[in-house]
């Protein structure tokens, strides 16, 4: 199939936060290659919005290979668009015609509150599913886990904060590995624990760290180590989400050490 470039009119749902009223806004995606994926087309629109000093459109994604299931939006009234069995990251622009108007909205379900624009809260926690007649059995399992002081009854894989969210990747007796996403223009404080060291590796975006009277900028692929007992203020001053991996080692790594700033 030959490649061509197309122009589109986008009607995109914009919403600043969970409890803020949203609205549809119009954007023009010009000169879009039909070889691009839908998310790459949104990247192009976001680049222009950033150049125009406007907030880019926030949307969920991770692998961009149709594997993780993180991406998703409703395109022209259909979840992930009209191509059957295709995730949004695998939907290609060759399925659109020059001059099309495309309406892009987040999932609209009570169980998935909107975090910002097209990004929704997905609870990645484990579920115990049973038939209606066996619900007492589920209660017994939860009670048994509680009795054994198992962390499954109190810890959550994805924790939503006012400044972004934290996803736990792995944890053990003396360590915890988490993926932390900080929304554009958000900031937070890490209050260091005397018996805990923390290391951050930036995957996407830019972080501005303030330690005492010193400031450090961290960009993609750079890392930072915070010694036990030290505190730091972290700012995402950019217009894109900041994503980093945190490795905490020591005592009490399960305790949350982040505070919203201000």
Our CB check for ligand FES shows the closer of 17 and 66 to be 66
> In the chain, what are the helix, strand and coil shares in percent, each to the nearest 5?
15, 40, 45
Residue of 24, 68, 169, 260 interacting with ligand FES (CB under 6 A): 68
Site residues (CB under 6 A) for ligand FES, limited to 82-101? 87, 89
The pair of three-digit structure tokens given for residue 77, joined into one six-digit string: 């009234």
Q: For residue 157, count other CB atoms closer than 10 A to its CB.
A: 14
Q: Can you give 131-177 as a three-state secondary structure string? A: CHHHHHHHHHHHHHHHHCCCHHHCCCCEEEECCEEEEEEEEECCEEE
User: Which of 23-31, 67-75, 222-230, 249-257 is the region at the interface with ligand FES (rule: CB under 6 A)?
Assistant: 67-75
Output 87 or 181, the one with its CB closest to ligand FES. Answer: 87
Question: Closest Cα to residue 236, out of 23, 52, 56?
Answer: 56
d(CA 100, CA 10) in angstroms, rounded, equals 8
Q: Which range of residues in 60-68, 121-129, 132-140, 165-173 is near ligand FES by CB under 6 A?
A: 60-68
Residue 120: count of CB within 10 angstroms of its CB: 20
Residue 190 binds ligand FES (CB under 6 A): no
Which of 5, 69, 135, 141 is close enough to bind ligand FES by CB under 6 A? 69
Per CB under 6 A, which region of 29-37, 66-74, 165-173, 201-209 contacts ligand FES? 66-74
- Can you give the C-alpha Rg of the chain in angstroms? 21
Q: From 64-72, 108-116, 128-136, 242-250, give the range in contact with ligand FES by CB under 6 A.
A: 64-72
Minimum CB distance to ligand FES, residue 80 (Å) = 9
DSSP bridge partners of 258 = 190
Alpha-carbon torsion (131, 132, 134, 140), positive or negative: positive
* 124 forms part of the interface with ligand FES (CB under 6 A): no
Residue 71 C-beta: closest distance to ligand FES, Å: 3
59 vs 96, beta carbon nearer ligand FES: 59
Q: Which is nearer to ligand FES, 67 or 260 (CB)?
A: 67
CB of 118 to ligand FES, least distance (A): 13
DSSP labels, 13-64: EE-SSTTS--EEEEEEEEEEETTSBHHHHHHHHHHHHHHTT-PPPP---S-S
| Count of residues making up the chain | 262
Contact status: 46 vs ligand FES (CB under 6 A): no
Instruction: Please state the closest distance from residue 87 (CB atom) to ligand FES, in A.
Output: 4
Among 27, 61, 232, 247, binds ligand FES (CB under 6 A): 61
Q: Is 79 in the site for ligand FES (CB under 6 A)?
A: no
Asked if residues 13 and 106 have their Cβ atoms less than 8 Å apart, the reply is: yes
Of 230, 225, 233, nearest to 207 (Cα)?
233
Per CB under 6 A, 64 contacts ligand FES: yes
- Residues binding ligand FES (CB under 6 A): 61-64, 66-71, 87, 89
């Amino acid at each position: 199939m030959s490649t061509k470039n197309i122009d589109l009119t986008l009607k995109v749902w914009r919403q600043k936060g969970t409890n803020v009223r949203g609205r549809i806004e119009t954007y023009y995606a010009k000169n879009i290659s039909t070889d691009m994926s839908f998310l790459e087309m949104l990247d192009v629109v976001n680049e222009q919005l950033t150049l125009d000093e406007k907030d880019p459109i926030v949307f969920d994604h991770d692998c961009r290979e149709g594997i993780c299931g993180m991406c998703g939006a409703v395109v022209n009234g259909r979840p992930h668009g009209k191509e059957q069995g295709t995730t949004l990251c695998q939907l290609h622009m060759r399925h659109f015609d020059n001059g099309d108007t495309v309406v892009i909205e987040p999932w609209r379900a009570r169980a998935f509150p909107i975090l910002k624009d097209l990004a929704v809260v997905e609870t990645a926690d484990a579920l115990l599913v049973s038939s209606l007649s066996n619900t007492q059995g589920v209660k017994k399992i939860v009670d048994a886990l509680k009795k054994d002081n198992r962390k499954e009854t109190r810890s959550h894989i994805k924790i939503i904060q006012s400044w972004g969210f934290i996803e736990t990747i792995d944890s053990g007796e003396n360590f915890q590995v988490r993926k932390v996403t900080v929304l554009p223009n958000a900031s937070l404080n890490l209050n260091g624990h005397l018996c805990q060291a923390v290391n951050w590796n930036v995957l996407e975006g830019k972080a501005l760290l303030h330690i005492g009277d010193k400031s450090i900028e961290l960009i993609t692929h750079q890392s930072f180590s915070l010694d036990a007992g030290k505190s730091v203020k972290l700012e995402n001053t950019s217009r894109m989400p900041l994503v980093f991996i945190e490795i905490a080692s020591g005592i009490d790594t399960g305790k949350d050490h982040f505070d919203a700033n201000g």
